[in-house]
Structure 1
């Protein structure tokens, strides 16, 4: 008869080994669940997806469940490293591997791709042509620019000219509604913001200003396939644009999550204008603090480029002395060579998080492309093209 405590001790020791001490699927530390059919140690979140795949995986808690001797021996003979040699043998460089904090659809489709569809084994790697065929088209639900309604629109992603197009109607004869260059495109999953478990935000530049598209698909596999096809196309573009760069240098630029997002109140350049609530996005890679009227706005209201401390940029705690209508009390100031920006947070915790995130960007040395991509060290709103008023649309 199996010794429950002895087997539990063995499993806990196995889970502490260097190859097993992080979730086999998302990399979360200290996994305390295991698939006794695959021989891998996984975290609680990923265990839920494994539980939904009974034909390929069977899950137990290594702390709470009873383990027979033969199952313990199976775990000893396998483990995360052995599983990677089989199920991750041929993962394309561009394919996104989920991190512990990522949304459920990314983790679920990664797990299904590995163990259910066997996409990354030598036998099934033909499935990868889905991402690199050079052309992908299909229907996605897209949020309207001027309302909150989602409507089906046809999207076409082309490797030939590095573009993403979408059409207002399924009939392409009238031409695309927008042609988006892959050069400036970024895609991030935003299920909470969009209000759908498969919500994807596509950000791009149009005439030098940031634009957003919010889309989703009913199928988790379909939306993640779109995401990884965009990544594959972006990777191909970057290799063409920067032929001497290594894959390790290009991979972080394919797509990126933003360092910090959230609402803050913002006032004008004299700090006496009424405060207005705005949605802010901190893009650390491009060193930009973007702001929008709401979190689902299609167009930016303005952007603050963030240089380094040596160039005269700094961030500090502040107050709203003299300003009007501010409802929030936790302030921070961003100083640039040309202007001081004053923002207010609703909670002290948010103030600390914004201070930490902004200081992280400012303390990071600039890269060569930052000197050519920045528009200005001060905030610029789209209507400033017609006049020089900083207050316009703020």
Structure 2
């Protein structure tokens, strides 16, 4: 009986010490993650990361921890709140942290390379993590990177303009003449299109395109906006294309604006659109039937573009969004005479030339559109914006 009591006592003592050690280590980790360098995810910047890689010494968010789990030979993940941490692992985290990892794994990130944020699509975040820790692309200053070689070429699946099918096309991006070319099956006939890098933009659109690696490439032809929708089966390859476009765009901007700083140029390399979605639109007299259109608000170019559908190659029209001092405003409205509209949340955009009436499906949609438009209207106009405004007015 005494032996049984002794064994029970030892088990009780072990459990008590184990729990005390668990609580102590958890407290240490929670203190570490409050330090400024550790208080956001090492990979996407999300606040208050709850996970950590005890082999890399970094604190990461839940979303990024999923990619780390797929790198099991490099990164081992634990929850800092739910899992038990041995003393040696806690000491490793204390000795390292996000700051040390950044100094090592991000030491030579090219200035044009896109570093994903919390709300970016999965493929961007995954390939950023793999580029840092698995391929170690940024640990050496002169490491060969295909996307910064000056020429990038390969095959992408491109959506056809008419039938909507995705077909393989060869693309060639060149820094020498600042162009993007793509070819049909018979390359001997020359490129199907030669696109100037001057107006080129690329943004990931997986939901719109219906593929996890979907990329939308936008450019201008004679002041009209055109879209290409492409994807690649490989996440690494499509992100390489994205960063190759950014590298070429950055080189072009450095040539076009030699006195501008990197910080001034980077927002123009590529950008996500401020707001996208369907609205109903009527004509100039407001007596024409409402028609459903896909709208894109480009806040940098101050353009509200509209298309028949979200996957149209060519715009139907464009509205310049200036400042309040120049006669632009947005407000709620309910037009008196409407035909064809199914949605009831009205919005009026005033310009010096005319009033545009739009109908949104939900009140939330109207609020989001109005906030986005007011944001653009509140921004001061740059010298190039006056040229854009004049070109759009001339098209009317």
What is the TM-score normalised by the length of structure 1?
0.94
Compared CA separation, residues 14 and 39, structure 1 to 2 (3 A): same
Decide which of 32, 44, 50 is 1:26's aligned counterpart.
44
Q: Distance in 2 between matches of 1:226 and 1:312?
A: 41
Quote the Cα distance in structure 2 between the aligned partners of 1:333 and 1:13. Answer: 51
Partner of 2:87: 69
2:325 corresponds in structure 1 to 310
Instruction: Report the Cα offset of residue 7 of structure 1.
Output: 1.1
- Deviation readout 1:277-327 (Å, 9 max, x if unpaired): 000000000000000000000000000001100001000011132111111
Q: 2:223 touches 2:391 (CA, 8 Å); kept in 1?
A: no
d(CA) in 2 for partners of 1:72, 1:127: 36
Query: Once the two structures are superposed, what CA deviation does each residue of 1:163-217 show, in whole Å capped at 9, x if it has no partner?
Result: 0000111x32101100000000000000000000000000000111000000000
CA RMSD across the alignment: 1.3
- Which segment drifts farther, 316-325 or 359-368? 316-325
The equivalent position to 2:188 in structure 1, one of 173, 186, 196, is 173
Q: Give, in angstroms, the shift of residue 338 of structure 1.
A: 0.8
Query: Equivalent residue for 1:127?
Result: 144
> In structure 2, what is the Cα distance between the partners aligned to 1:237 and 1:110?
24
Q: Does 1:246 align with 2:261?
A: yes
Out of 351, 358, 366, the position equivalent to 2:381 is: 366
Query: Distance in 2 between the 1:376 and 1:272 partners?
Result: 27
Q: Is the CA contact 1:132–1:229 (under 8 Å) kept in the aligned structure 2? A: yes
Given candidates 266, 283, 292, the residue that maps to 1:277 is 292
Question: Is 1:87 the equivalent of 2:105?
Answer: yes
Q: Secondary structure at the match of 2:349?
A: strand
| Structure 1, unpaired ranges of 5+ | 381-387, 389-394
Match of 1:105 in 2: 123
Q: What is the deviation of 1:265?
A: 0.5
- Tell me by how many angstroms 1:377 deviates: 6.0
2:276 alignment counterpart: 261
Higher-Rg structure is: 2
Deviation at 1:48, TM superposition (A): 0.5
Tell me if 1:299 matches 2:314.
yes
Question: Is 1:41 matched with 2:59?
Answer: yes
Aligned to 2:230: 215
Q: Partners of 1:162 and 1:290 in 2: how far apart?
A: 25
3-state SS in 1 of match to 2:143: helix
Aligned position for 1:56: 74
Give the Cα separation in 1 of the matches to 2:355 and 2:321: 12
Quick check: 2:44–2:64 contact (8 Å CA) kept in 1?
yes
Aligned length: 378
Tell me if structure 2 keeps the 8 A contact 1:305–1:379. no
Q: What TM-score do you get using the length of structure 2 for normalisation? A: 0.93
Q: How far does residue 127 in structure 1 lie from its aligned partner after superposition? A: 2.9
Aligned to 1:392: none
**Unaligned stretches of 5+ in structure 2?**
1-16
